[in-house]
Copies of this chain bind each other. A is one copy, B any other.
């Protein structure tokens, strides 16, 4: 039971930034997005990947590597689209 809840929690927190990224790619507007949020989150999930590598825990590595990818794309979009304002 704990494992199922843990896996569900991990999947949800990992994919949560995906709709935000899709919305930004559609609207090409990042006016209300905080760049600090993206930067802090990107640093945090990168550290989770490092933590997973140290413990050799593949679920931690994979879910957070996915988050690193989504958040890095989000940060690139932020700098691309904030130039337009």
* Chain A residues with a Cβ under 8 A of chain B: 1-2, 5-6, 8-13, 15-20, 22-24, 27, 29-34, 36-37, 40-41, 43-45, 47-48, 50-51, 54-55
**In the complex this chain forms, how many copies of it are found?**
2
Q: Give, as a whole number of angstroms, the nearest-CB distance from A16 to chain B.
A: 4
Q: Describe A's contact surface by its main secondary structure.
A: helix
Instruction: List residues of chain B with CB within 8 A of the CB of A31.
Output: 29, 31-32
CB distance from A70 to the nearest CB of B (A): 11
With A30-B32, A33-B32 in contact, do A50 and B19 touch (Cβ < 8 Å)? no
Cβ contact of A5, chosen from B8, B11, B47, cutoff 8 A: B47
Does the CB pair B12–A54 fall under 8 Å?
A: no
